Structure 1
Amino acid sequence: MLALLLASFAMVFAALLPSGTAQAAGEQVRGTLTTGSTGPIAGVEVTVTTAGGDEVDSVETDDAGRFAIDLPDGAGDYTVTIDEDALPEGVTAGDGASRDVTVEENRRLPVTFALTDGEERGSGRILAVQLFVDGLRFGLLIALAAVGLSLIFGTTGLTNFAHGELVTIGAVVAFFINATGVPLVAAAVVAVLVGAAVGALNELALWRPLRKRGTGLVAALVVSIGLSLALRYLIQTVYGGRSNAYTDYQSQRARDFGAFAITDRDLYSIVIALVVLVGVALMLQRSRIGKAMRAVADNRDLAASSGIDVNRVILVVWMAGGALAALGGVLLGLSDQVQWDMGFRLLLLMFAGVTLGGLGTAYGALLGSVIVGVFIQMSTLVIPNDMKYVGGLLLLIVILIVRPQGILGSRARIG
Structure 2
Amino acid sequence: MRHQRLFVPVLALFLVTAPAVTASAQGEAVLGAPGFGARALQALVDGIQFGAIIAITAVGLSLIFGTIHLINFAHGELVTIGATFAFFLNVSPAGPGWHLIPAAIAAVAFGALLGGAIDRGLWRPLRARGTGMINLFIATIGLSLLLRHVVLVLYGARPGSYAQYDIQSAIDLGPVGITPRDLTVTLLSVLVLLGIAALLQRTRIGTAIRAVSVNRDLAEASGIDVQRVVLVVWMLGGALAALGGVFFGLVEIVTWDMGFKLLLLMFAGIILGGLGSAYGAMAGSLVIGIVAQMSTLWFPVDLQYAWALLALIVVLLIRPQGILGRRERVG
Same fold (TM over 0.5): yes
Q: Which residue of 1 aligns with 2:167?
A: 251
| Residue of 306, 311, 316 corresponding to 1:400 | 316
- CA-based RMSD of the aligned residues comes to 1.6
1:167 has 2:167 as partner:
no
1:287 has 2:203 as partner:
yes
SS in 2 for 1:261: strand
Spell out the pairing of 1:321-360 with structure 2 (5 A cutoff). Answer: 321-360=237-276
Listed one character per residue, the Cα deviations across residues 239-291 of structure 1 (whole Å, up to 9, x for unaligned) are 01111010011121000111110001100101111111101100100100000
Counterpart code for 2:184? Y
Listed one character per residue, the Cα deviations across residues 380-414 of structure 1 (whole Å, up to 9, x for unaligned) are 1121111111111111111111111001001139x
Please list every run of 5 or more consecutive structure 1 residues that lacks an aligned counterpart in the other structure.
Answer: 1-35, 37-113
Query: Rg: which structure is higher?
Result: 1
Q: Which residue of 2 aligns with 1:227?
A: 143
SS in 2 for 1:197: helix
1:162 and 1:232 map into 2 onto residues whose CA distance is: 9
Counterpart code for 1:348? L
Q: Which residue of 1 aligns with 2:295?
A: 379
1:133 and 1:266 map into 2 onto residues whose CA distance is: 10
- Post-superposition offset of 1:217: 1.1
Name which structure has the greater RCO, CA cutoff 8 Å, separation 6+: 2
1:157 has 2:73 as partner:
no
Counterpart code for 1:355? I
Please list every run of 5 or more consecutive structure 2 residues that lacks an aligned counterpart in the other structure.
Answer: 1-25
Spell out the pairing of 1:11-410 with structure 2 (5 A cutoff). Answer: 120-179=32-91, 180-410=96-326
1:187 and 1:201 map into 2 onto residues whose CA distance is: 21
2:29 and 2:147 map into 1 onto residues whose CA distance is: 37
SS in 1 for 2:73: coil
2:123 and 2:299 map into 1 onto residues whose CA distance is: 42
2:301 and 2:213 map into 1 onto residues whose CA distance is: 39
Runs of 4+ in structure 1 deviating by more than 4 angstroms, as ranges, are none
1:184 and 1:115 map into 2 onto residues whose CA distance is: 32
2:218 and 2:247 map into 1 onto residues whose CA distance is: 38
2:73 and 2:169 map into 1 onto residues whose CA distance is: 37
1:226 and 1:392 map into 2 onto residues whose CA distance is: 28
Counterpart code for 2:43? L
1:248 and 1:340 map into 2 onto residues whose CA distance is: 20
Q: Which residue of 1 aligns with 2:6?
A: none
Counterpart code for 2:40? A
1:277 and 1:213 map into 2 onto residues whose CA distance is: 35
2:320 and 2:251 map into 1 onto residues whose CA distance is: 33
- Post-superposition offset of 1:115: 11
SS in 1 for 2:171: strand
Q: How many residues align?
A: 300
TM-score normalised over the length of structure 1: 0.71
